[in-house]
Chain A
Amino acid sequence: MLRTYFAEYNTNGEKMKVILNVAHSICPQCSVGCGINLITKENKVVGTYPYKRHPINEGKNCEKGKNCFNLITTKNRLKNPLIINKNSNLSKSNWEEALDLIVSKIKSYSPSQIGIIGSGNSTNEDMKTLKKFADALNTENIGYYTGNFPEFDIKTATFEDLEDSNFILIIGDVIKENPLLGRRIIIASENGAEITSVDSSNKTFTGLNSDNYIQIRTISEFLDNMDPNVLNKLNESSIIIFNKLDHKEEFEKIVDIAKNTKSKILPVMEQCNARGVMKILPSLDKNGIAELISNVKLLYVVGDNPASYVEESLNNLDFLITQDSSVNETTLLSDVVLPASCWAEKTGTFINTTGNVQKISKTVPAPGSALEDQIIISKIAKKMGIEL
């Protein structure tokens, strides 16, 4: 298939620099799993172009999606391994030195003192490699952050179910926060579905676009004493959509209500592959992550930023290794930082919020000496004499 063309010389025989390529990708900004085309020029991503052939979003993207290429080109990209120096500053290092340090540190702790945190933004392939590594190290302290969503393995509604439904109950500001899922709700509404939404603010964008909006104090309270006007409308052609929970237990409550009313449910998590990683790593909420960290001395974080939600718990660590594509709060607190490829720089799969497996392909090379997560993990393993 033709995709990339290199126009090397112009008609005057001068070397030309124009290389234009439009390549399919999947948006990494939320779990809806929209398609997006990346425009590359001279092997650098310069913009996005609508991917109208994609069944989920048909070329439509939200602002975050349209601008997702900034994640690739941001000034904050990590290009080289960094190691903390005598003055407690991170300074430029190289792979050899960084990996040697990591390996000697890992070897100096017992398996129970080692913790690993993965991420719902990583590919299934990267997280499988991470899990294998944890198994080989014999550590059970592994997981990834899923907010208040517990691990689940149930049948969820599809986008088609959504468009064909008669009644939709929304918990959270789904239309605003997951607009391409919101679009299906709008289409359902145009097809005659009744939309009721609930949230804690006095008004929301989703509420404005619903037939009924109910302000609630907590999700539990709403679920425990559901308004009969809402409950009576739930049936086999209804869907309960939620992109937030106040507590893990609310998930089960929603599942029970759905079971009793024969309605379908659609949980919408934040990260683009949260549903895929759920099949690989344990799902942890804030307390779970904090507990994992407090039980270990050495922590290896791949693709997550725990400092943004459990910063204090990081204080008791002896040694912190982070592996990410860009600088974040956690990399700044680390002893070693490893530069990783971002999603457009690798091949793998994501599973979106409705359970569709979608392939991503390497579109551009990674900056500097950054490497793919699974390659970095394998390098560490190899140095430790572990066969993954």
Chain B
Amino acid sequence: MNPEYLLARSKNPEILEKGECGGAVSSIFQYLLDKEIVDGVLTLVRGEDVYDGIPSLIKNSEDIRETCGSLHCAPTIFGDLISKYLTEMKLAVAVKPCDAMAINELEKRNQLDREKIYEIGLNCGGTVMPITARKMIDMFYKVDPDDVVKEEIDKGKFIIELKDGSHKAVEIDELEEKGYGRRENCQRCDLMIPRNADIACGNWGAEPGWTFIEINTEKGRELVENTKKEGYIEVKTPSEKSLTMRNKIEEVMIKLAKKFQDKYLEENYPSPEKWDEYWNRCIKCYACRDVCPVCYCKECALDKECYVKEDQVPPDPLTFQGVKLSHMSFSCINCGQCEDVCPMEIPLAVIYQRMQKKYKNKTGYTAGISEELPPLYSPEKE
């Protein structure tokens, strides 16, 4: 379908005040729960502090209030939480672009029923590892990380709000030059607007107090239409200026991402000797395999003695990393989870993303976005 654009905001005064940019997303969730269109909403809830986002399944409409506000320091992924534990439910999910990509790959592999899911996309400029965030707030902002009550990313800055109501901002460029800021895979990500979700919501180009929504699917169009009809949100058409501004932000972000792709996947790409050093560190913990939201086979080649010897640590990179790469790199959505969870600090995401990019250039297959399965995918898998 042709994309449709609109501005929306909540008609519930409390949500309007508490929610991000007019609280349209919260109101859509409330509508879905109130009208019993979904059984639950899967989203992040703030845990012990602003650096702690916990995946939560929300059943009660009034609890949606607790999920208001952004959590950039919670790099979670939802895809396999759904395919492993929630397939029987009708669900609405707040998705970052990588969550939506994971859902797309799992759907193609019949691991979840897309019909049962409303994907409410959130524009994403990247996430920050929680402990990295705390360190950088201490170092660059000279602030006790425990004093931060809110954070946001806007106009190239990472902005924090403190207990006393004051704000402090630092340019993300400056943070990233020193090795802080967003996760490296996020720096390289060129999908900021989740057009693979039913709707994509965000503040780019929006007037203050409004959410800019791009409608991507028929289901998404109906959802926004009905949420409006039932009096949960009000909508209006964005101005030309809004659209131009949003496009411009997206363009700048994509350009920046390409720059980072060149930097991490080409210029600074580890040498073969460095890779040997990395593979020597592998303790064969399977964390990278287990966390991958796309990898799902019940019977895994890596559990077979012919590929991976039980007591061999580090494992033979040719059969361990090699088999994993040959199975998964075509479908890598660059969510960065494998790298996040690697106890030995092996920069796994760069090798996977690099291979997916090469594969994409040859075959046109974009993981997480293309509607078909990767050309080399075996349908025999279970």
Question: Is A53 a contact of B89 with CB atoms below 8 Å?
Answer: no
Question: Using Cβ atoms and an 8 Å threshold, which residues of chain A touch B60?
Answer: 5
Question: Is A182 a contact of B58 with CB atoms below 8 Å?
Answer: no
Question: Is A59 a contact of B340 with CB atoms below 8 Å?
Answer: yes
Binds B, one of A39-47, A232-240, A264-272: A39-47
Cα of A20 to Cα of B46 in the assembled complex, Å: 16
A side interface size, CB within 8 A: 47
With known contacts A41-B85, A176-B283, A58–B344 Cβ distance under 8 A: no
Question: Is B283 a contact of A7 with CB atoms below 8 Å?
Answer: no
Question: Using Cβ atoms and an 8 Å threshold, which residues of chain B touch A18?
Answer: 39-40, 57, 85-86, 88-89
Question: Is B281 a contact of A209 with CB atoms below 8 Å?
Answer: yes
Shortest Cβ gap from A243 to chain B (Å): 15
Question: Is A60 a contact of B55 with CB atoms below 8 Å?
Answer: no
Binds B, one of A61-69, A73-81, A247-255, A299-307: A61-69
Of residues 199 to 233 in A, which have CB atoms within 8 Å of B's CB atoms? Answer: 205, 208-209
Interface of B, secondary structure class, is loop
Residue B317 interfacial (CB < 8 Å)? no
Question: Is A209 a contact of B280 with CB atoms below 8 Å?
Answer: yes
Question: Using Cβ atoms and an 8 Å threshold, which residues of chain A touch B86?
Answer: 18, 20
Binds A, one of B221-229, B263-271, B285-293: B285-293
Shortest Cβ gap from B236 to chain A (Å): 31
Residue A24 interfacial (CB < 8 Å)? yes
Residue A179 interfacial (CB < 8 Å)? yes
Question: Is A5 a contact of B40 with CB atoms below 8 Å?
Answer: yes
Residue A102 interfacial (CB < 8 Å)? no
Of residues 147 to 191 in B, which have CB atoms within 8 Å of A's CB atoms? Answer: none
With known contacts A18-B39, A49-B55, A208-B280, A60–B343 Cβ distance under 8 A: yes
Of residues 158 to 199 in A, which have CB atoms within 8 Å of B's CB atoms? Answer: 175-176, 179-180, 182-183, 186-187, 190
Cα of A50 to Cα of B337 in the assembled complex, Å: 10
Residue B348 interfacial (CB < 8 Å)? no
Question: Is A5 a contact of B58 with CB atoms below 8 Å?
Answer: yes
Residue A11 interfacial (CB < 8 Å)? yes
Shortest Cβ gap from A99 to chain B (Å): 39
Residue A55 interfacial (CB < 8 Å)? yes
Query: Can you sample 12 A-B contacts with CB below 8 Å?
Result: A1-B46, A2-B67, A18-B88, A20-B85, A22-B54, A46-B84, A47-B84, A52-B75, A52-B131, A55-B134, A176-B313, A208-B314
A residues sitting closer than 8 Å to B (CB atoms) are: 1-3, 5-8, 10-11, 16, 18-22, 24, 37, 39, 41, 46-47, 49-50, 52-55, 57-63, 66, 175-176, 179-180, 182-183, 186-187, 190, 205, 208-209
